[in-house]
Amino acid sequence: MAGPNYLLCPSAVLSEFSAQVFMHFGVPEHDAWQASDVLSKADLRGIDSHGVARLRTYVDMFKIGRLNPNPKLKIIREKKSVATVDGDSGLGLVVGPKANEIAMEKASQYGSGWVSVCNTNHYGIASYYPLKALERDMIGWSMTNSSRIVVPLWGAERRLGTNPISIAFPGFKNPPIVIDLATSVVAFGKVEIAKREGKKIPEGWIIDQSGNHSTLPEDVYSGGLLPLGGTREMGGHKGYCLSSMVDILSCVLSGANWGPFAPPFALFEEAPKESVGKGIGHFFGAMEIEGFEDVDVFKKRIDHWIEVFRNTKPVPGRDAVLIPGDPEHEQEKVRNKEGIPVIEAVVEDLNQIARETGVPFRV
Amino acid sequence: MAGPNYLLCPSAVLSEFSAQVFMHFGVPEHDAWQASDVLSKADLRGIDSHGVARLRTYVDMFKIGRLNPNPKLKIIREKKSVATVDGDSGLGLVVGPKANEIAMEKASQYGSGWVSVCNTNHYGIASYYPLKALERDMIGWSMTNSSRIVVPLWGAERRLGTNPISIAFPGFKNPPIVIDLATSVVAFGKVEIAKREGKKIPEGWIIDQSGNHSTLPEDVYSGGLLPLGGTREMGGHKGYCLSSMVDILSCVLSGANWGPFAPPFALFEEAPKESVGKGIGHFFGAMEIEGFEDVDVFKKRIDHWIEVFRNTKPVPGRDAVLIPGDPEHEQEKVRNKEGIPVIEAVVEDLNQIARETGVPFRV
C-alpha cells in the first residue's frame, strides 16, 4: 500500500515511459512495449516491488552491458511438447513472454507445452505468464529462480532465491483464480519495511549470520530468509522442497545458474564467484483446458468452487475467506480507474532516469 | 518410528499378504500385486501411515462394495499430451499406477504427458508415481485430493484435504531427489500422536470448532488442520493456494469431487451430503528428460546440486542440511535388510483380516 507521499500516475503514462526508456537502450519497439506491459501489470495488480520501481535496476544493467537489448531466443533442444530455450542474455521481461509464447504454441499443437529457459534475467511478476495463458483458455504455469537470499532448512548459508510458483484458472462469470507465491516464508521487502519502521519481525522469518533465529530485521543482511514454513515443526522442510523444485525445473534442467550461483538482479548485491551455467532460469507450462474438459463446463465448475470457498464461515475477527488472486484483482479495478500510487523515492528514480536518457517523464 | 511393541516383518511377507487379500476380494492377480507394491513402498520408505496400516480400510471398503475390484479405466477426453481418465471406482492403488502409466506413455510419444483422474480412491503415497517415472528417465509429478480436514486461511470450516504434491529428479551417482509434501502444516497423524501422548501441539497447527487457534490436539476433531504456513503472518495463504491448486488440477479438471465434497477414505468419517462429481481425483505428469537435456548431463548436474546443498554450513545444533528424500532413502536401505517394524495394533488388524478372509498371515 502506498504511504502518504506518493504521486498518482495513470498506468498509460508509466507504460509509455518504461517503453521509451527500453527503446532508448536499443530494445526494439515491440519488445520494449512487451517489457513495459509486464511492469505495468505488476503496478496495476498492486505488486509495487515488481513494477516501475524496478526500472532503475533494468536501466543500470543496460548501462553496464549486462543485458542484450535485442536477444534472439534459441530452442536448444525440443521434443514435441517440451523444449529448452536459451534467452540470449535478454531482458527477462522480453525473454519470459517469448518463452511463454513457445509453451503456449506447443500447447495449441500438443495439448500442453513446457519450456525450461536459461540465459535470462529477472522476468517480473510470475503471474503475468499464467494470465496470458488464460486469454487462450489454457492453464498456465510459471516459475523462476532468483538470487540467493533463502537458506535451506537447517542451513546457515543462503542457497536459494525466493523462487516463486504461479498458476491460474479461469472462471466463467468470476475473475480467475490466480496463485502466485514466493516459496520463502515472506518477501524480502517485508523484512525491509520492518527495518525502516524500526519494528521487530516474527520469529521464523529469518536467521542471523550464525544461523540462529532472529527477530531483528537488520540481521537478514548477513543471515537469510527462511523457506515457507520457517521451522521444522511448522513445515520449513516443505518450503525448502518447493523452492528446490523451482530451482531444478528452471535451472538444472535448462543449464542456467542454479541455487547459490544465480547472478544477482541488483548491482549492489555481491555476485557469486563461480558460475555453473548461463544467466538465471525460468520454467513455463501451458495446458489446453479443451484437452481435458469442455472449456465452459470447466469454467462453470471453477465458479462453483469460488462460490463454495468464498462462503466458508470465517474465523472470529475476519470478514471472509479470500479466493487466490482476490487482493490483486481488487487493486487492478481501483488502479485502472484511479492510477498507480508511485512513492516519492520511485518518482525520484524515474525523474533521474528521465534526465539520464532524455525520455520525458510527465504526469 | 516404531515404538517398542512391534513385529519385524520381511517386506515380501507383507506384500504377499496384501496381494492375496486383494485377490480374495476379486482383484485380478496383476492388479493385486500392483496395489500391494504401492503399500510396500510406503512401508519400506518409512511412511508407516500409508502402508499395510491402511489395509484394514481398503478391506472395509471392499466389504461394503464401495470399491470396484476390476475397474476398466476409460480415457474420457484427450488431446495428444493431455487426458482425463475415469477410474471406474477402482482401488486408487490400481487406478493411480494405470493413470500414471498413461501419462508416461504420452511422455514417450509427445515429450510430456498429463492426466487428470476422476472416479478414483486413495492412491497411497504420492511419491510412488514420480519414483516410477524415474525408471524411464522421466521427471514425474503426482497430486491427489483427499477428504476434508484442512481449513482455508481465515476459514473456520474444513474445505480441503491434506492434498500432497510429489515430484522427483534422478541423480547420476546419488539417489534421486524425492519431494513429497502434504500442503497442510502437518500430517493429521502428528496431531493424533500428540493426543495419544497427552502433549500440547504448537500454535499454528490447528483451529478449534469456533475457528480459534488451539494447542490441544483433541480440538482438531471438531475444528481442522491449518494449511502450510499456518497463520497469515507465516504464509498460511500460500499453503491454502497450493492445496487449492492440487484440488483444482485433480478434481475440478477431471470431474471428481473437489474441496469439501471429497468422499471420505475411512468409513468412520462422515460423508458429505452433496456430491459434485465422481470419487476423488488425482493428477499425474511425466516429462522426458531427454526432451530438455542429455539425460546423463542432467543427472550429473543433479549430483552437483546435491553435493552443494549437502555441504551447506548447518545451523547450530544440526549436523547437516538434508536433501529432499534423504530420510525415506535411509529407511528404505535399513528396512530392505531388516524388515518392516509393524506396530502391535496393525499386527492385530492383519490377524483379524487373515481370519476374515482366510488368507494366512505368518511371519
What is the per-residue pLDDT across B91-100, written as a single tens digit (0 to 9) for each? 999 999 999 9
Burial class (CB in 10 A: 0-12, 13-18, 19+), B111: buried
pLDDT value of position A4 = 59
What letter does residue B29 receive in the DSSP assignment? H
The residue of A76, A86, A112, A254 whose CB has the most chain B CBs within 10 angstroms, and thus the best one to mutate to test that interface, is: A112
Are A292 and A286 contacting, i.e. CB atoms less than 8 angstroms apart? no
Q: Domain residue spans in chain A?
A: 6-185+226-294+339-357, 186-225
- Provide, as residue numbers in chain B, all residues whose Cβ is less than 8 Å from the Cβ of A312: 151-152, 155-157, 159
Residues near B285 by Cβ (< 8 Å), separated by ≥ 6?
Answer: B103, B112, B113, B114, B115, B140, B141, B142
In chain B, the residue whose alpha carbon lies closest to the alpha carbon of A191 is B233
Neighbours of A12 (CB within 10 A): 10
State the helix-helix crossing angle for B29-44 and B92-110, rounded to 10 degrees.
90
Alpha carbon distance A270, A148 (integer Å): 10
pLDDT value of position B3 = 52
Are A17 and A359 contacting, i.e. CB atoms less than 8 angstroms apart? yes
Residues near B327 by Cβ (< 8 Å), separated by ≥ 6?
Answer: B46
CATH 3.40.640.10 fits A6-185+226-294+339-357, yes or no: no
List the one residue out of B219, B275, B279, B253 whose CA is nearest residue B66: B279
Q: What is the rounded average pLDDT of the residues A183-201?
A: 92
Residue A326 has pLDDT above 50, yes or no: yes
List the one residue out of A194, A185, A186 whose CA is nearest residue A217: A194
pLDDT value of position B266 = 74
pLDDT value of position A2 = 44
B175 shares contact with chain A (CB less than 8 Å):
no
3-state SS, residue B165: strand
CB contact under 8 A, A229 and B229: yes
Segment 242-261 of chain B within 8 Å of chain A by CB: 242, 244-245, 247-249, 252-255, 258-260
What's the start-to-end Cα distance of chain B, in Å? 20
List the one residue out of A361, A356, A362 whose CA is nearest residue A63: A356
Cell matching residue B162: 491434506
pLDDT grade for B270, boundaries at 50, 70 and 90: confident
pLDDT value of position A289 = 98
Residues near A311 by Cβ (< 8 Å), separated by ≥ 6?
Answer: none
Judged by phi (left if over 0) then psi (alpha if -120 to 50, else beta), residue A315 lies in beta
Angstroms from B349 CA to nearest CA on chain A = 31
B327 shares contact with chain A (CB less than 8 Å):
no
* pLDDT mean across residues, chain B: 96
Give the Cα-Cα-Cα angle B91, B96, B99 (nearest 5 degrees): 125
Are B115 and A287 contacting, i.e. CB atoms less than 8 angstroms apart? no
Give the Cα-Cα-Cα angle B114, B120, B121 (nearest 5 degrees): 120
Helices and strands in chain B: count of H runs, count of E runs: 10, 12
A to B CB pairs, distance under 8 Å:
274
Q: What is the rounded average pLDDT of the residues A228-245?
A: 97
Residue with cell 515429450: B111
- Provide, as residue numbers in chain A, all residues whose Cβ is less than 8 Å from the Cβ of B313: 155-157, 211
- CATH placement of domain B71-182+234-310: 3.30.1370.60
Angstroms from B311 CA to nearest CA on chain A = 9
Neighbours of A333 (CB within 10 A): 11
pLDDT value of position B61 = 94
Residue A145 has pLDDT above 70, yes or no: yes
pLDDT value of position B315 = 97
What's the start-to-end Cα distance of chain A, in Å? 20
B185 shares contact with chain A (CB less than 8 Å):
yes
CB contact under 8 A, B112 and A159: no
Residue with cell 465452459: A296
pLDDT grade for A266, boundaries at 50, 70 and 90: confident
Are B252 and A305 contacting, i.e. CB atoms less than 8 angstroms apart? yes
Secondary structure percentages of chain B, helix, strand, coil, to 5: 40, 20, 40
What Å distances lie between residue B22 and B32, B63, B198, CA to CA? 5, 11, 37
Alpha carbon distance A257, B46 (integer Å): 34
> Hey, do B71-182+234-310 and B186-225 end up sharing a CATH topology, with the first three levels equal?
no
pLDDT grade for A261, boundaries at 50, 70 and 90: very high
Burial class (CB in 10 A: 0-12, 13-18, 19+), A105: middle
CB contact under 8 A, A238 and B211: no
B226 shares contact with chain A (CB less than 8 Å):
no
- CATH placement of domain A186-225: 3.30.60.50
CB contact under 8 A, B169 and A252: yes
- Provide, as residue numbers in chain B, all residues whose Cβ is less than 8 Å from the Cβ of A316: 156, 210-212
In chain B, the residue whose alpha carbon lies closest to the alpha carbon of A160 is B309
Residue A269 has pLDDT above 80, yes or no: no
H or E stretch covering B225: strand B224-225
Share of chain A above pLDDT 90, in %: 94
Alpha carbon distance A229, A235 (integer Å): 4
Residue A179 has pLDDT above 70, yes or no: yes
Angstroms from B271 CA to nearest CA on chain A = 17
Residue B75 has pLDDT above 80, yes or no: yes
- Provide, as residue numbers in chain B, all residues whose Cβ is less than 8 Å from the Cβ of A185: 229, 234-235
Are B115 and B286 contacting, i.e. CB atoms less than 8 angstroms apart? no
Q: What is the rounded average pLDDT of the residues B45-51?
A: 94
B77 → closest Cβ in A211, A234, A292: A292
B228 → closest Cβ in A80, A110, A228: A228
- Provide, as residue numbers in chain B, all residues whose Cβ is less than 8 Å from the Cβ of A237: 181, 322, 324
Cell matching residue A28: 526494439
Are B350 and B342 contacting, i.e. CB atoms less than 8 angstroms apart? yes
H or E stretch covering B100: helix B92-110
Angstroms from A221 CA to nearest CA on chain B = 17
Q: What is the rounded average pLDDT of the residues B266-285?
A: 90
Alpha carbon distance B166, B164 (integer Å): 7
pLDDT value of position B2 = 44
Q: What is the rounded average pLDDT of the residues B159-177?
A: 98
SS (H, E, C) chain A: CCCCCEEEECHHHHHHHHHHHHHHCCCCHHHHHHHHHHHHHHHHCCCHHHCHHHHHHHHHHHHCCCCECCCCCEEEEEECCEEEEECCCECHHHHHHHHHHHHHHHHHHHCEEEEEEEEECCCCCCCHHHHHHHCCCEEEEEEECCCCCECCCCECCCCECCCCEEEEECCCCCCCEEEEECCECCCHHHHHHHHHCCCCCCCCCEECCCCCEECCHHHHHCCEECECCCCCCCCHHHHHHHHHHHHHHHHHCCCCCCHHHCCCCCCCCCCCCCCCCCCEEEEEEEEEHHHCCCHHHHHHHHHHHHHHHHCCCECCCCCCCCCCCHHHHHHHHHHHHHCEEEEHHHHHHHHHHHHHHCCCCCC
Alpha carbon distance A342, A6 (integer Å): 5
What Å distances lie between residue A159 and A223, B93, B108, CA to CA? 11, 37, 34
Are A228 and A185 contacting, i.e. CB atoms less than 8 angstroms apart? yes
CB contact under 8 A, B321 and A242: no
* pLDDT mean across residues, chain A: 96
Residue A1 has pLDDT above 70, yes or no: no
A179 → closest Cβ in B111, B241, B260: B241
pLDDT value of position B150 = 98
Q: Which fold has domain B1-70+338-363?
A: Hypothetical Oxidoreductase Yiak; Chain: A, domain 1 (1.10.1530)
CB contact under 8 A, B248 and A177: yes
Handedness of CA A221, A222, A228, A232 (dihedral sign): negative
pLDDT value of position B1 = 46
- Provide, as residue numbers in chain A, all residues whose Cβ is less than 8 Å from the Cβ of B244: 177, 179, 309, 324
pLDDT value of position B189 = 86
Cell matching residue A23: 527503446
Q: What is the pTM of this model?
A: 0.98
